[in-house]
């Protein structure tokens, strides 16, 4: 730890040793006691309401339990039920469809807008705030406007398509277009987050790198490919990871806009967990589904961290 002399000189005794260099502290020493007092309010709540429930989820997934009668032991039966359950597979497929279309689209829109805003505009903060607005709205509230926008025949979206001679689909009530409609709304709702992260990343790239690239006679595309992308890759990685995790948990807009329909065309994993646990009162099965959702998130995130080593450029 470096001792800076920004204020008056501090005697050497005032420099506390770094935590790791301290000899093994004792339970009874004053500092540990103080530490536990600081920790206590958070720790009690955390153990009861966050850490405890994580462990309990594992236990409940092994039970047959409808909350009204005493639970009975089910072993791994709840997990075995997933295999032949068509709604589960449909929900998994829908969630994957949603995630692997909406995340790349969101990233592209965020990146394009960040690049646009980074072109040396004077009122950049105003545009940034306005473009961030959808991100700061209530999902449920704006979901209703999007239902209105998607009204078949004469809704605003189809009216605009009609100007170009395109006969728009029935969107939210169409088998094939309900999911794309949800994806479009979700891209609109969430692109602001990535845009702000990318914009900060772009502004942190040293200008000398572009000047050096220009001296070497590179084309705009080459300087984007060889300077911007590598320098932005940590931000890109972060946004991709968090967007995929978020998309796997999509619920609000699907519940409001399509309620999972038509049929089960837009039933997502979280919606199925909600139905299983709180409409069918099958808590054990719902807990098992939630653990499978968690396993998918871990798997995808781990895969991304595996590829990160080769694709993400870190300065240090």
Partner 1 sequence: MTTEALPLVSNKVVQRKLIVFACFLVTALTLIPVVMMVLVAFQSDAESMAAKPSFWPSSWHPENLTRAFELVPLGKYLLNTVYFAGGTTLLETVTAALAAYAFARLNFPGRGWLFGIYLATLMIPSQVTLIPQFVLVAKLHGIDTWPGMILPHAFTAIGVFLLRQFFLGIPRDYEEAARLDGANRWQAFIRVIVPLAVPAIATLAVFKFIGQWNNLLWPLVISNSDATRTASVGLQVFQDTNGTQWNLLLMAATVTTVPLIILFFLTQRWFVRGITMSGLGGR
Please state, in angstroms and rounded to a whole number, the distance separating the CA atoms of residues 220 and 47: 53
Number of other residues whose CB lies within 10 A of the CB of residue 180: 16
- Counting residues that bind partner 1 (by CB under 8 A) gives 120
Binder to partner 1 among 96, 180, 210, 264 (CB under 8 A)?
210
Segment contacting partner 1 (CB under 8 A): 74-82, 83-91, 99-107, 285-293?
Answer: 285-293
Among 138, 163, 165, 306, binds partner 1 (CB under 8 A): 138
Binder among 107, 170, 171, 201 for partner 1 (CB under 8 A): 201
- Interface residue with partner 1 among 50, 66, 176, 280 (CB under 8 A) is 50
Report the alpha-carbon distance of residue 254 to residue 264 in Å, rounded: 11
Is there a contact between 87 and 264 (Cβ–Cβ < 8 Å)?
A: yes
Site string for partner 1, 225-264 (x = CB under 8 A): --xx-----xx-xxx-----x--xx-xx--xx--------
Contacts to partner 1 from residues 149-188, by CB under 8 A = 149, 151, 153-156, 188
Alpha-carbon distance 167 to 153, whole Å? 8
> Residue 212, interface with partner 1 (CB under 8 A)?
no
Q: State yes or no: residue 121 binds partner 1 (CB under 8 A).
A: yes
The reply to whether 45 sits near partner 1 by the rule CB under 8 A is yes
* Backbone dihedral angles phi then psi of residue 87, each to the nearest 5 degrees: -65, -35
The DSSP secondary-structure symbol of 279 reads: T
Q: Under the criterion CB under 8 A, does residue 144 sit at the interface with partner 1?
A: yes
Q: What are phi and psi of 44, to 5 degrees?
A: -60, -50
Closest CB 294 distance from partner 1, rounded Å: 5
CB 51 to partner 1: min, Å = 6
Q: Which of 89, 100, 148, 305 binds partner 1 (CB under 8 A)?
A: 148
37-45, 73-81, 88-96, 172-180 -> range binding partner 1 (CB under 8 A): 37-45
Asked whether position 208 contacts partner 1 by CB under 8 A, the answer is no
Residues 6+ apart with CB under 8 A from 1: 15, 18
Question: What are the DSSP calls for 180-222, one per residue?
Answer: HHHHHHHHHHHHHHHHHHHHHHHHTS-HHHHHHHHHTT--HHH
According to CB under 8 A, which one of 117, 170, 178, 181 is a site residue for partner 1? 117
Tell me phi and psi for residue 296, to 5 degrees: -65, -40
């Amino acid at each position: 730890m470096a001792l800076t002399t920004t204020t008056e000189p501090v005697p050497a005794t005032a420099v506390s040793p770094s935590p790791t260099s301290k000899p093994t502290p004792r339970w009874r020493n004053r500092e540990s006691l103080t530490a536990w007092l600081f920790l206590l309010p958070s720790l009690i709540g955390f153990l009861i309401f966050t850490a405890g429930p994580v462990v309990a989820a594992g236990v409940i997934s092994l039970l047959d339990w409808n909350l009204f009668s005493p639970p009975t032991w089910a072993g791994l039966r709840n997990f075995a039920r997933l295999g032949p359950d068509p709604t589960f597979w449909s929900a998994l497929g829908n969630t994957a469809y949603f995630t692997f279309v909406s995340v790349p689209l969101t990233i592209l829109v965020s990146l394009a807008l960040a690049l646009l805003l980074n072109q040396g505009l004077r009122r950049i903060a105003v545009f940034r705030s306005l473009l961030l607005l959808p991100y700061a709205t209530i999902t449920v509230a704006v979901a209703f406007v999007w239902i209105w926008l998607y009204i078949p025949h004469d809704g605003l979206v189809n009216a605009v398509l009609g100007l170009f001679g395109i006969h728009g689909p029935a969107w939210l009530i169409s088998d094939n277009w309900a999911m794309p409609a949800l994806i479009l709304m979700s891209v609109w709702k969430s692109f602001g987050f990535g845009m702000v992260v990318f914009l900060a990343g772009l502004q942190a790239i040293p200008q000398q790198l572009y000047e050096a690239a220009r001296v070497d006679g590179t084309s705009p595309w080459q300087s984007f490919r060889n300077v911007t992308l590598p320098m932005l890759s940590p931000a890109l990685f972060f946004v991709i990871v968090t967007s995929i995790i978020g998309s796997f948990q999509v619920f609000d807009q699907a519940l409001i806009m399509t309620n999972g329909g038509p049929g089960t065309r837009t039933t997502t994993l979280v919606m199925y967990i909600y139905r299983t646990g709180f409409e069918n009162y099958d808590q054990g099965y719902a807990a098992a589904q939630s653990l499978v959702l968690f396993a998918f998130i871990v798997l995808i995130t781990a895969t991304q961290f595996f590829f990160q080593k080769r694709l993400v450029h870190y300065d240090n």
